Amino acid sequence: MSNIIEVSNLTKSYKELTAVDDLSFEVYEGEILGLLGPNGSGKSTTINCILSLLNFSNGSIKIFGEEMKPDSYGIKEKIGVVFQEVSVFDELTVYENIDYFCGLYVKDKEKRKEYVEDAINLVGLMDFKKFYPKKLSGGLLRRLNIACGIAHKPKLIFLDEPTVAVDPQSRNNILDGIKKLRDEGATIVYTTHYMEEVEILCDRVIILDKGKVLAKGTCDELKELAKIEEKISVEVNKLDNKYVEEIKNLDNVADVSYNGNVLLIVYEKGKNNLSDIMGLLKKENIKYNKIYSERPTLNDVFLELTGKELRD
C-alpha cells in the first residue's frame, strides 16, 4: 500500500508547551485510520498541521507524495474535512448548502449536480433537500455537515467526531456512509472518543498522548498490549465483603469490585480463571444469576496507556 500521508519528526510548540513532540506516522491508501487520544493529546494540533492550518517548529508533512504547504491548492482540492463543529449556512437549504461547498471545487454544473445528489443519497437526506438547517434534528444536521465536506469526492477525508450527540439511528447511518466512502476509494482519518466505533470502522489505530505515539496497529494488535487477560462478571444478589476479600486472594486476580449486584473480577493472566471463581462460588454456596467472561477491550488498552485521570 502506498502512503497517502507521511508525517516525519513533526514538532509543534506553543511557548513552553510542546503540543506535538517529534511525531512520525503514515496513513495508507484506502484505509480508515483511527487517531485516538485524550483531551490535550495533540490530535487537533496534528491534524491542523497536516492541513497546513498551523505552522510547525520542525519536521515534514507529505500528502499524495508531495510536500504540504499553505499554498498547496492542488493537494487541498483532493481533501475533505468535517470538523466537530457543524459549519453550514442557515440561510441555505440542505441542497443549496451541499451545492455551495461542492462548487468550491467542482465548477462543471452537470458534474456538480451529480456529485451533490450522490452526497445526499450517501447520508440519507433525500427527503430533506428543501429543508433549512434550523428545521433539522441534531442527527440530520450532522449528516448535512458530512455531505458538505465530502460532496466533491475527495481522495482524503478527515472526520472529527462526526457522531457526537446523535441518536443511534443517525449514528448507524453515518458509520455506514463512512464505510461506503472507504469502499469507493477514499482514505479516511477518523477521530472519536467512542471506542466501539473504532472497532467497527478502523483498519488501523494510532493512540497519541502528549504529542507522541503511544501505540499503533490493528484493534486486535492493540488489545494484545493489555496487561489484563480477562474480566469476569457475576450477577450476585447479596455478597458478603469477606467473600470479596477471599476472591482477591485467588491466583492471578488484579482487581475485584462489587457494585449494583455485579461482582467484577479482573485477571492479569491464567487459563483457569472461570473455573476458579465458579469453584469458590460453589464451595461457599453463593447463589448467582449470570456469569460471563470478557477479553480486554480497546477501551481497556486506551486507559492503560493514557491513564485514568480526568483531562481538561
61-80 pLDDT per residue, tens: 999 999 999 999 999 999 99
- Domains of the chain, CATH where assigned: 3-223 (3.40.50.300), 230-295 (3.30.70.100)
Average pLDDT of the residues in 169-180: 94
Cα separation, 161 vs 174, in Å, equals: 11
pLDDT of residue 188 exceeding 90, the answer is yes
- Go through 260-281 and write b for each residue having 16 or more CB atoms within 10 A of its CB, e for each that does not: eeebebbbeeeeebbebbeeeb
Average pLDDT of the residues in 85-99: 97
Cα separation, 140 vs 43, in Å, equals: 26
6-20 pLDDT per residue, tens: 999 999 999 889 999
Confidence of residue 274 (pLDDT cuts 50, 70, 90): confident
Report the range of poorest mean pLDDT among 152-156, 164-168, 266-270. Answer: 266-270
pLDDT for 312 equals 65
- Pairing type for strands 32-36 and 204-209 reads parallel
pLDDT of residue 233 exceeding 80, the answer is yes
pLDDT for 15 equals 86
CA 155 to chain centre: 19
Burial group, residue 56, by CB count within 10 angstroms (0-12, 13-18, 19+): buried
pLDDT for 138 equals 92
- Residue 288: count other Cβ atoms within 10 Å of its Cβ: 15
Average pLDDT of the residues in 95-110: 97
- Which among 198, 120, 124 has a CA at the least distance from the CA of 161? 198
